[in-house]
Structure formats: C-alpha cells, structure tokens
Homo-oligomer: A and B are copies of this chain.
Amino acid sequence: MARVNARYDFMSDNTAPAAPEAMQAVLDANRGFVPSYGDDPVTARAGDLVRGWLDVDADVRFVASGTAANALCLAALCRPFESVLAHAHAHLTVDETGAPGFFGHGLGIVALPGASGRLDGQALAEALARPQNGHVQSPAALSLTNATEYGAVYSAEAIGALIAPAKAKGYGVHLDGARLANAAAAGFDLKAIKGLGVDLLVVGGTKAGMPPSEAVVIFDRAIARRFDARLKQAGQLPSKGRFYAAPFIGMLQDGALLRHAAHANAMAKKLAALTPFPARHPVEANGLFVEMDEPTLKRLHDSGWFAYRFLDGTVRFMCSWATTAESVEALGEALKSIA
C-alpha cells in the first residue's frame, strides 16, 4: 500500500495522472448515445488520427490493456507449438505473468540477448538458423519493443535490419510500442514503420499520459479478419469503446502526444545530468538506469523516493509527461545526499 508522503513520480511512467488533453477528449466524447463495441464516431475519428499519425492504411482497435494487446498479437502470429523471438528482458518476456502463453495457449518465447533492450542481430541470426524439428517450439514471429525496456531507441534502419531476416523466413512481426511516442520524440521515424514489415503494432497510450488505452494497429489484412471476435473473446472489445478511443483524439489532434513524450525524454536527460550515479544505458527515451548498491537504494527509499531495481541490476527512474523540473531537481538533490 502506498505510504503517506512518499513520492512515486519516478517509480514508473504509469504512476502519473492522465494529461489534460486526453481527459478533455474523454469529457468531450462523453455525450449522447452512441453504438457500442467501437461502432461509434469517436472511435472512427481516433482510428483516422492513428492512421494519419503513422501515415498508414491499416485497421486500428482501441483496447484496455497493453499486456493483453501484446499477448493477443503474438497469439495471432504463432500457434501453440511455435514460439516468438523476443528480448530476454522484454516486458512480455518477464513482466506479464506469462500472458503470451495464456492468450497463446502455450506458445513459447525464445529469449534473446542484446544491449540496453535492443535485440542483438547476431543472436537473432543464430536463433533463426537453428535446426527445426518437432520437439521444440520453432519460431513463427519476432517481437521488438521501441523504445526498449532500458530507455534505448531503435532507428527505423535498425528495426528493419532485424525484421528482414525474420520476414525472409516467413515469420510475423510484432512491435510493442508501449513507449512508441518516446521513441518518436527521440527521432524514430513513425512513418517508416509501414515499410518495415510489421504485422501488428501496439501503440501505448497509458504510459504516454492517457487514461488506460492502447491502440492495436493491424497492418496485415488477413490477420484483421474476425479480429473483433478475437478481442471480444479475450475481454478486449470494450462496450463503451469511446472511452478508449477518445484519449487518442485528445493526444493526437494537436500533437500533444509527441510534445509530452519529448518533455518526458528531456526530464530523463535532465535527471541523468544531475545524478551522481553512473548511467548504465543510453538515455534516449524517458528512463534513466543507474548503478546503485542495495544500501544506497534503501536510503533512497527511506528518504521517500520510490524506484525499482530492474532485471539487469540497475535502478530505474522513469519520467512522464507530468514530471516537473522541480521534482527532477528535488530527486537530484536526494540522490546527491545519499551517494
């Protein structure tokens, strides 16, 4: 349970409230009677805005859960006796309680290495070259995350170089964009996605400053067939769809999404400049990962600032649209005092 007076600003980018643009759009959408299950004008407009943002002609759905969205995408690309190639520290590999195997009826994940959450090309090549037989779950899909779990950002070229050999084997491609806005704000070219071979993309709204919402973008029209049934069965076809679509309207119609992401990224850089602890990953998006021993982390917690130790041993500080320069400075002071 949350402690009194403790500060959760940097604990994650999902501890922040929703941004005013997103909330206003929800309030605007909350008028009159509209058809349910996404067959409403709010959802239609939000879909258009997502398509415009990415410059694509693709189906778009708005769902409540990024975990479910990722898992359903993998289930659409892999059969239970197949596997997904993904980073060993990807959110879906380690932080979703086995959701891919649940939604995918036992599908496997082949965990691959790579610095700062970016998949290592050589390791991917080796995984793709592995002999296949009936006794192992051979790969059927590649999953990438941009920005990565460790605050690094792939360029479109880097993603393309990873996707190409997977596509050459006929495999599907999923892109987890829980922090796609942060990647875009850091220079990732959103409009390049359509040429990269991505079949299914999840655009994160929640961590980007929306009330809970994620957009699933379906590039492959064959996968889109009966996708609503897939979502409904899995509890991801909201009856009051406008509540998940509206935040995307508020954040996309005037550029708030990228503007807020750029702010979050800038706050992470500012914090990196203030901390006396060495950064262990490039600060390209909205996270800072530092080296810190356990007694020091305890002192930080005791001083009221929450932060998690991550899977690679670093301590993580996440910034969001709501992070203020003042709180960065206050945390910077706290870090100096415990160093």
**A residues engaging B (CB < 8 A)?**
1-2, 7-9, 11-12, 14-18, 23, 26-27, 30-37, 39-41, 44, 64-69, 71, 79-83, 94-108, 132-138, 206-207, 211-212, 226, 228-240, 243-244, 306, 322
Contacts and interface: CB of A to CB of B under 8 A. Distances in A.
B44 A238 contact: no
24 contacts: A1-B44, A2-B34, A2-B40, A8-B33, A9-B33, A14-B240, A15-B34, A15-B36, A17-B30, A18-B240, A18-B243, A64-B238, A65-B236, A65-B238, A69-B235, A94-B136, A96-B232, A104-B106, A105-B105, A132-B226, A134-B232, A211-B240, A212-B244, A235-B235
Given A2-B34, A14-B36, A235 B98 contact: no
Nearest to A11: B35
Interface centre among A26, A36, A80 (most CB of B within 10 A): A80
A108 B101 contact: yes
A20 B337 CA distance: 46
Nearest to A95: B135
Contacts of A103: 106, 235
A232 B97 contact: yes
Contact of A36 (B1, B11, B107, B138): B11
B98 A137 contact: yes
Contacts of A44: 1
The 6 A-B residue pairs with the shortest CB-CB distance in the complex, in nearest-first order: A68-B235, A134-B228, A101-B106, A102-B106, A64-B64, A65-B235
Given A211-B240, A235-B64, A102 B105 contact: yes
Given A97-B136, A99-B235, A15 B33 contact: yes
Contacts of A95: 135-136
A237 to B, nearest CB: 6
Contacts of A138: 226, 229
B233 A102 contact: yes
B229 A97 contact: yes
Given A1-B44, A132-B226, A234-B235, 15 more contacts: A2-B34, A2-B40, A15-B33, A67-B235, A80-B98, A80-B105, A81-B226, A82-B229, A95-B136, A96-B232, A97-B136, A105-B105, A133-B228, A134-B231, A135-B232
Contacts of A102: 80-81, 105-106, 233-234
Nearest to A3: B35
Nearest to A322: B33
A109 to B, nearest CB: 10
Given A97-B137, A226-B138, A18 B30 contact: yes
A136 B212 CA distance: 21
B229 A137 contact: yes
A28 to B, nearest CB: 11
Contacts of A239: 12, 14, 66, 206-207, 212
Contacts of A243: 18, 211-212
A248 to B, nearest CB: 15
A134 B37 contact: yes
